[in-house]
């Protein structure tokens, strides 16, 4: 699978709706690039962000009533500007954990920090480093900055 789309906090519903139906919801790690630029480590969540109660209707109290499945990325890099419009390409390489509801924001923050820690460790492994130079995320075949990346895979596959 390959996905590229305009970068924003969330992917468009059309992208999320085309994910494999049997794809487990949760947090993934991988490599990604913006506008065919440097390749960065990344985490990516797919599912209902239960803490924020993502819904199509703001009046829904249940996280699954009128729920909107989302796919969000976090590139491990500090950019000078926000992204509104650039093309984002990702290769997902592994699964970190299922989606979970958190009672408190600090619990969510700790989980995200752990996701980043796990992703960095996994992406530094030889088996995953080779995908950093994959022509899909890095058309020039050049290595990107080790500080940030986006990837997702059920085993090595492209998104």
Residues belonging to the active site:
72
Contacts 24+ apart (CB under 8 A), 11-14: 11/70, 11/71, 11/72, 11/73, 13/68
Burial, 56: exposed, middle or buried (Cβ in 10 Å; 0-12, 13-18, 19+)? exposed
**Cross-strand partners of 80:** none
Q: How far apart are CA 92 and CA 154, in angstroms?
A: 7
């Amino acid at each position: 699978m390959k996905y590229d789309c305009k970068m924003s906090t969330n992917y468009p519903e059309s992208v999320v709706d085309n994910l494999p139906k049997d794809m487990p919801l949760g947090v993934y790690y991988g490599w990604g690039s913006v506008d065919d630029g440097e390749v960065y480590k990344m985490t990516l969540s797919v599912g209902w962000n239960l803490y924020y109660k993502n819904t199509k209707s703001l009046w829904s109290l249940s996280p699954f009533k009128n729920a909107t499945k989302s796919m969000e990325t976090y590139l491990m890099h500090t950019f000078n500007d926000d992204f509104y419009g650039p093309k984002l390409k990702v290769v997902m390489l592994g699964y970190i954990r299922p989606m979970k509801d958190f009672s408190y924001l600090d619990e969510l923050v700790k989980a995200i920090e752990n996701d980043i820690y796990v992703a960095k460790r996994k992406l530094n492994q030889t088996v995953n480093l080779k995908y950093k130079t994959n022509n899909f995320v890095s058309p020039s075949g050049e290595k990107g900055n080790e500080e940030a990346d986006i990837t997702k895979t059920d085993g090595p596959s492209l998104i």
